[in-house]
Structure formats: structure tokens, C-alpha cells
Amino acid sequence: MEIRKFDILKKNDAFELLDKRNTKDILDIENTVSNILADIRKDGDKALFKYTKKFDGFNVNEDNIKVTREEIEYAYSETSDDLIRIINSSAENIRQFHQKQKRDTWIDESDGIKLGQLFNPIEKCGVYVPGGKALYPSSVLMNIVPAKVAGVKNIIMATPPNKSGKVDSSILVAADMAGADAIYKMGGAQAIGALAYGTKSVPAVYKITGPGNIYVATAKKHVFGKVGIDMIAGPSEVLVIDDASVDIKFIAADLLSQAEHDELASCIAVVLSKKRAEALEAEVIMQLNRLPKINIAKESLTNYGMIMIVNTIDEAINFANEVAPEHLELCIESPFDYLEKIKNAGAIFLGAYSPEPLGDYFAGPNHVLPTNGTARFSSPLNVDDFIKKSSIIAYDKKSLKRAYKDIVSFAEKEGLTAHANSVKIRFEDL
């Protein structure tokens, strides 16, 4: 990891470190994804089956693409009772947290005017779940449970199978517990295309959520507009503010918990002294050497890791607000005293015993979070992402009469005489 002193650091240096993760030329990926989506739109199942065979090695067809109830029951038999219990507990925590986000239709009435909002769940949603090396039953829960809480009636999950057509048992158990209505054996950009455009075997949906590799993320970007999407997620990141009041082993472990995710993951610690920075670097190296995923974590830390030295906690928080990290840990004394100063972060973890993996798996708040600084303007996945809001407007004759001259003047100012006439015609007797 690189140790830098904030007061001699050009402010853009830290942001360049993060931006480096996005400088890879993706023109080839864009072209590949565009071609796959065009094939899916044109040839439907034929193209979907072709790409599933090519990329996943499974001879899929209209008879075996959909996961059966028997396969789900077998998945339960293959999954330990302890893991089933944990998945169930996590799902319940997520459900309880997201229940608090629900809102009801409202109408205010005053002097002949009724205004309000009508809340309706999106009718059909698709959830993408990675497969292969990345098996995340936690992501299944984080996407499907809020959708169910919102009231989505039809949730279609897509996840790539292995070469024999099998889907990981923990993924199937989590999907069943969360409430998936159908599960399809398909992955990559072709799965996003099938969900967006529909095929003979796969119904089209109205919105797609869920994580995936760069091909999946690019495909989601391409189909946006045809369907809604949650976000274009980038590599994971954590920023830890450390005032030396927390055991240094905790800080190092939290940094490494992100570094093992991905070679592009970014881990930044912000400390108050050079002594602490050097001690933290040594602790990270010591723990790194014990990790099974040492190569991934080492590359992440080497290319995108940084220890920043600042003078005050306020200075650290100002820096964090500019970075707008996906995960922000306040490993400091009295972290709640500083909470209101945090303006930009996906999820905020307060204190020594609130490590980032707590949010990944169990606490209840969603772990689908804005990355790459997008926490400046966006939020974690939540119930509202699965809800549509319609405005309600109802004026009686007297209330419209009070406003009609102003509306007519406004419309005529914009040169929209038909708009003006639509109101005037109701009061021709005047």
C-alpha cells in the first residue's frame, strides 16, 4: 500500500487512483455486448441457447432452461441445516429493515383540490445473480427481498449454470427463501438481453437489478430505456477513518475484506499519524500473507490501496465526502458525534464492532451500493427501486376557476394555445 501525507498530496491524486480502475479500454466489450444483445433481440431462444452453450458449456433448451421445483428441493437436501438457518436469519433481517421503507398512497384535500401520490409496485422484475467463481447467495437476498416487500408479483431470477446445467445449491435455497417466482439457467449479457427483450422461453421484465461482471454491467447499460435498471456498479471500495482508538488488527482485517473481492477493489485508510500509518501497513502485510486469496488481495492493495495521513478527523471526513465511498467505516471514538457530517457514502459503519462484512451478510440494510463516487447522487438499493409513483390531481370547478386565468397566461406565454384553450373552454360562459 502507498502511504501519502494529505497536506502534500495533490487532491486529485487520490481520485486518479480510483479512476485508474475505469481507464481500461472497453471498446471490444461494448462491441461484443452490442452484438449479443442484437442477436437475442432478433433470434430469441436460438441466440440465448447458442451463447449459453458457448460461454457456460451447457446444452440448454426450452425444456431445461427453467429450474424445476425438484431441483430446488434437491438444493435444500445438499445444503447444511446451519447454512439454511443463517440464510433464513439474514433474509428476515433484510425483510424487517426494508419493511420500514414502505410508503402508502396519500391524498391531501383542501378547498376543492385533491393532490397526492399513488404507489404501485413494478409488476415484473428480473434479478441477475452471478455464478462460477462468484457465488453470492447474499446478493440473492438483497435483491429479491426488497422487491417482495415492495409488492412485486413476478420476480424472474437469472443465474448461469455449470457445464452440467446445475445451479449452486445455496443460490437456489436463498432464491426460494427470498421468494423468486422463477429461476432461469442463463448468464452474461445474453441473460440481460433475454430479460429485457423476452424470448419464447423467458418472459420480458420491466426492470433488472443485480450485480455481474463487466459484460453484465455493460449489457444493463445498453438495455436501459427498454427496461429500468438499478445502477451500473463498479469495483468495490472501502474507506476507513482510524483515530488509533480501535485495535489495529481490526482496521487491517477490514481493508483486506474488501481487497480479496477483486483485483480492482480499492481500500483506503485515513489515519492521524505517520506512526499509525506505518504500523497499519505492517499489520496489513502480515494478515495478507495468511489469506487464501493472497494474489487477488495483493494486486488490489498494490494498485488501488492507500493510507492517507491527515491532521484531524474533520479533515478525514471532508476527504471521505469527496471520495463518496461505497463503504465508509468510522473506526473512531464517539463516531455518532460525526455522523451528521457525513454527506456522501453508500453505507456507513460506526465503531469498532461494525465491520463492513456485517452489512454484506446480516444486518439488514442493503449491500447493493453506489460505487465510483456515485454516492454523491444515488442511494443503496431499496424498496423505492421497485415502486412506481403516479401523481394524483383532482380540481373541482370552483378551484379550477380560481386558477384558470393564470394557467391560460402561462400556456400562451409558451406559445401553446391548445393548452390554453383546454382550460378556457371550460369557462366559455365567462
* Contact (CB, 8 A) for 79 and 173: yes
User: Confidence band (pLDDT; 50, 70, 90) for 25?
Assistant: low
Cα–Cα distance list, 399 to 329, 404, 428 (Å): 53, 9, 16
Catalytic residue among 326, 329, 356, 367: 326
Is residue 419 among the annotated active site residues? no
Task: Answer whether residue 24 shows pLDDT above 60.
Answer: no
Annotation says 326 is catalytic: yes
In the structure grid, which three cell numbers stand for residue 5, read together?
501525507
- Report the CATH number of the 44-229 domain: 3.40.50.1980
Q: How far apart are CA 57 and CA 192, in angstroms?
A: 18
The percentage of the chain sitting over the pLDDT mark of 70, rounded to a whole number, equals 95
Decide if 2-23+234-376 and 44-229 have a common fold.
yes
Q: According to the model, what pLDDT value does residue 28 have?
A: 87
Dump pLDDT digits (tens) for 385-410.
999 999 999 999 999 999 999 999 99
Q: What pLDDT digit, counting tens, does each position of 290-325 carry?
A: 999 999 999 999 999 999 999 999 999 999 999 999
* Selected catalytic residue, list 98, 222, 327, 367: 327
Cβ–Cβ under 8 Å, residues 259 and 305: yes
The Cα 330–Cα 236 span in angstroms is 18
Q: What are 393's three cell numbers?
A: 390531481
Q: Which CATH architecture does the domain made up of 2-23+234-376 adopt?
A: 3-Layer(aba) Sandwich (3.40)
Question: In the chain, what are the domain boundaries?
Answer: 2-23+234-376, 44-229, 396-427
Band (12; pLDDT cuts 50, 70, 90): low
